[in-house]
Chain A
Amino acid sequence: MHELSVTQSILDIVLQHAKDRKVQQVNLVIGQFSSIVDDSVQFYWDIIAKDTLAAEAQLHFKRIPGEMTCNSCGHVFHPGSETFLCPSCESSAVRVSGGREFQVDSIDVE
């Protein structure tokens, strides 16, 4: 349900950078640890961007998987849904090393 305010924020950023040019595509980078639902953002986008220069823009979601690094053996892995243990040495001494991204990377304008 927070997608409406997220979508509004995306639109504000996009229009600010578009500088009166028509927006064709919005390129988003979203890490696995930042949760939003693509379809829901697109749904709200179609409503709130309607009368703007970004009305016809396609939203492009680049998803970055969650990434962890083992402090014991250095192994880098994508965590499963039930455990964060290192799949190589089974250590629990691991840290989050990727997947926090939540940004508007770029826009394509005419």
Chain B
Amino acid sequence: MCDGHNHSHPTHTHTTTRVPVAEQILSANDRIAQRNHSLLHQKHVYGINIMASPGAGKTSVLLKTLEALKGRLKIGVIEGDPAGSIDTDRAIAAGMPAVQVNTGGECHLDAVMMEDALSQLPLDDLDLVVVENVGNLICPANFRLGTHLNLVIASIPEGDDKPYKYPGMYMGMQALIINKIDLLPYVPFDMEYFQQGVEVLNPGITTFPLSCQTGEGLDAWTDWLVEQAHAEIIPE
């Protein structure tokens, strides 16, 4: 607005005006995410958004978690995948209401997809909605969905350098699972180096090392999740 300038062309003159904007690029997404969050809050439903690279074990963690929470929380599932409904079919087979979101080519879920999926779940009958995001360590980090918890699953075979390579993802989470710890004896993975990176990006983050294969560490994770959900969904 203030630092406009004039410049002349042979046939005409025009003025350039600078208009200050200062708006977050994803502010529209964030507004819908906030709406989703309010809806969950109003329905007393706790929401978690699981993010990880393909192959980190999102589905295994999800299925183990659903199994462990049976009888403790009523759960609905939102499955984001570029294509197919394999994971949704598994969740439905396990007795949960589940919604499949096919993103087409998109590499992440966004708040609009989340809003649409929430409208298809029986929220009045649920305590917990678990969203399995598209496997990707870059894109989902930018798009808030409106869940209470952003969970990242790292896994031992992926390597210990992931926090350094994908800092955005590791900054945007509120809890971290380190999956496949049964592979630690066979795969080079410097836990101290990994956790040092995580701690810088996300000081004091709650971390759960576990193995879906052996079951080690699963209880600590699921007990904590139930505690978190109760703290949010049952009003004092």
Compute how far the CA of A68 lies from the CA of B27 in the bound complex, rounded to whole angstroms: 26
A110 touches B14 (CB 8 A): yes
B70 to chain A, nearest CB (A): 35
A24 is an interface residue with CB less than 8 A from chain B = yes
Given contacts A17-B19, A84-B164, A6 and B200 within 8 Å (CB-CB): no
Contacts of A24 in B (CB 8 A): 16
Q: Chain B, 93-116, contact with A by CB distance < 8 Å: what is the 0/1 string?
A: 000000000000111101000000
B9 to chain A, nearest CB (A): 12
CB contacts between A and B, total, < 8 Å = 106
Contacts of A18 in B (CB 8 A): 19
Q: Chain A, 52-88, contact with B by CB distance < 8 Å: what is the 0/1 string?
A: 0000000000000010100000000000011111000
Contacts of A35 in B (CB 8 A): 138, 142, 168
B139 touches A94 (CB 8 A): no
B69 is an interface residue with CB less than 8 A from chain A = no
The interface size of chain B toward A, counting residues with CB under 8 Å, comes to 37
A105 is an interface residue with CB less than 8 A from chain B = yes
Contacts of B18 in A (CB 8 A): 106-108
Most chain B CB within 10 A, of A5, A13, A35, A108, is at A5
A82 to chain B, nearest CB (A): 6
B8 is an interface residue with CB less than 8 A from chain A = no
Of A6, A81, A83, A92, the residue contacting B142 (CB under 8 A) is A6
B164 touches A9 (CB 8 A): no
B203 is an interface residue with CB less than 8 A from chain A = yes
B205 is an interface residue with CB less than 8 A from chain A = no
CB<8 Å pairs between A and B, sample of 14: A1-B107, A5-B106, A5-B143, A13-B25, A17-B19, A33-B168, A33-B171, A82-B161, A83-B164, A102-B25, A102-B26, A106-B20, A109-B17, A110-B14
- Known A-B contacts: A14-B21, A95-B203. Give 19 more (CB < 8 A): A1-B139, A6-B25, A9-B29, A17-B19, A33-B171, A35-B142, A81-B164, A82-B161, A82-B164, A92-B199, A102-B24, A102-B25, A102-B142, A103-B21, A103-B24, A104-B23, A105-B22, A106-B22, A108-B17
The 9 A-B pairs of least Cβ separation, nearest first, read A2-B139, A1-B107, A84-B200, A104-B21, A92-B196, A106-B20, A33-B168, A17-B21, A108-B16
